[in-house]
Amino acid sequence: MWKLKKTNIAAFSIVAASPFLIAIVALVSVMYGTKDISAITVWQAISAFDPSNVDHQIVRTGRIPRIAAVLLVGAFLAVAGAVMQGITRNYLASPSLMGVNDGSAFVITLAIVFFPGLPNYQMILLSMLGSALGAGIVFGFGSLIRNGLSPVRLAIIGTVIGTFLSSIATAIAMYFQVSQTVSAWYNTKVHMVDVDMLMLSIPFGLIGLILAFVSAKAITITSLGEDIAIGLGQKTKAVRIISMLAVVCLTGTAVALVGKIAFVGLVIPHITRFLVGVDYRFIIPCAAVIGAFFLALCDVLSRFVNYPYETPIGVLTALVGVPFFLYLVRKHGGEKGA
């Protein structure tokens, strides 16, 4: 296609530069916090772990899991958003706006209330079920309403259903008097990452990433337009199913790990597309690394914006996300395929 050469370079340079950038951010994240720990100590904590050394403990059980979780979630959400936007041709499609995140959180709440003490891997599976449920309801409603699948309409439906699910979840939690635990799940808990959950989310999320990458070419064709896709003989149904599976895996894992984080899935795909063009074979890997980097950056900032207190990471993503969202609305309006 026309811009192939240029996007190749951009995409490759991003992917090439990312390990360094991510390593730097990760290091900063581990080193600085309520208590600053020197780089050497960090290295020692990894290579020559001394259980009695408090700093080593902090690094191992607190900071490294945290930055690992943040990087993973950033990547997962960004790729999920990219896939959603490609498949639905909707520039506003994203896990937080389409009820996907809320669906996950809803099912997790039900699980905590009715089946407390479930093993982590089951929680992740339930979370994925919730993602599918949320997306199903939102897109279901969207198809019922005239012009309901247009970006704006879908965003409205998604937000509204998301709020609805949240409200019901809160009501249920309150009724069964477990609201403390539930709100811990709802508001992101990056600083209390469960290491076991973290280890589990790697394979689950990886499956999602692989599914996404495998369908990348098909997604590119779909994103160009329904007619083009059919004309080129693509099996649209199969593509849809596989990509939705990818989205569900990715968001389900992300929400199970750290709760709901908004705007990452919306903003990062746009930035990525701007940098590397419209080919999803490049967009997906680049979105993953850009997303990881972005969220890690937000996480670092969240610790310093209100030193020495932590700011919920959602506030920072909103800080970037809301103006960006407004800009998108202003630029694209309500048309489909924008």
Residues at the site binding other proteins, with contacts judged by CB under 8 A: 92, 97, 141, 144-146, 148, 152-153, 155-157, 159-161, 163-164, 167-168, 170-171, 174-175, 177, 262-263, 306, 309, 311-312, 314-315, 318-319, 321-322, 325-326, 329-330, 333-334
Q: How far is the CB of 304 from other proteins (least distance, A)?
A: 14
Q: How far is the CB of 334 from other proteins (least distance, A)?
A: 4
End-to-end CA distance of the chain: 20
Q: How far is the CB of 92 from other proteins (least distance, A)?
A: 8
Tokens 């990458």: give the residue: 213
Residue 58's Cβ-side half-sphere holds a number of Cα atoms within 13 Å equal to 15
What does the alpha-carbon distance between residue 73 and residue 79 come to, in Å, rounded to a whole number? 10
Count of beta carbons in the 10 Å neighbourhood of residue 50: 11
* Residue placing its CB nearer to other proteins in the complex, 240 or 336: 336
Q: How far is the CB of 198 from other proteins (least distance, A)?
A: 25
* Residue placing its CB nearer to other proteins in the complex, 102 or 279: 102
Assess whether the previous peptide bond of 308 is cis (omega < 30° from 0): yes
* Residue placing its CB nearer to other proteins in the complex, 11 or 264: 264
* Residue placing its CB nearer to other proteins in the complex, 4 or 174: 174
Q: How far is the CB of 180 from other proteins (least distance, A)?
A: 12
* Residue placing its CB nearer to other proteins in the complex, 129 or 315: 315
* Residue placing its CB nearer to other proteins in the complex, 205 or 269: 269
Backbone φ, ψ for residue 309 (5° rounding):
-90, 155
Q: How far is the CB of 165 from other proteins (least distance, A)?
A: 9
DSSP states of 238-307:
HHHHHHHHHHHHHHHHHHHHH----SHHHHHHHHHHHHH-S-HHHHHHHHHHHHHHHHHHHHHHHHHTBT
Q: How far is the CB of 317 from other proteins (least distance, A)?
A: 8
- In single-letter form, the type of residue at position 209 comes to L
* Residue placing its CB nearer to other proteins in the complex, 165 or 218: 165
What does the alpha-carbon distance between residue 83 and residue 92 come to, in Å, rounded to a whole number? 12
Q: How far is the CB of 264 from other proteins (least distance, A)?
A: 13
What does the alpha-carbon distance between residue 104 and residue 251 come to, in Å, rounded to a whole number? 8
Asked if 10 and 275 touch (Cβ cutoff 8 Å), the reply is: yes
* Residue placing its CB nearer to other proteins in the complex, 224 or 338: 338
What does the alpha-carbon distance between residue 62 and residue 191 come to, in Å, rounded to a whole number? 7
What does the alpha-carbon distance between residue 62 and residue 75 come to, in Å, rounded to a whole number? 20
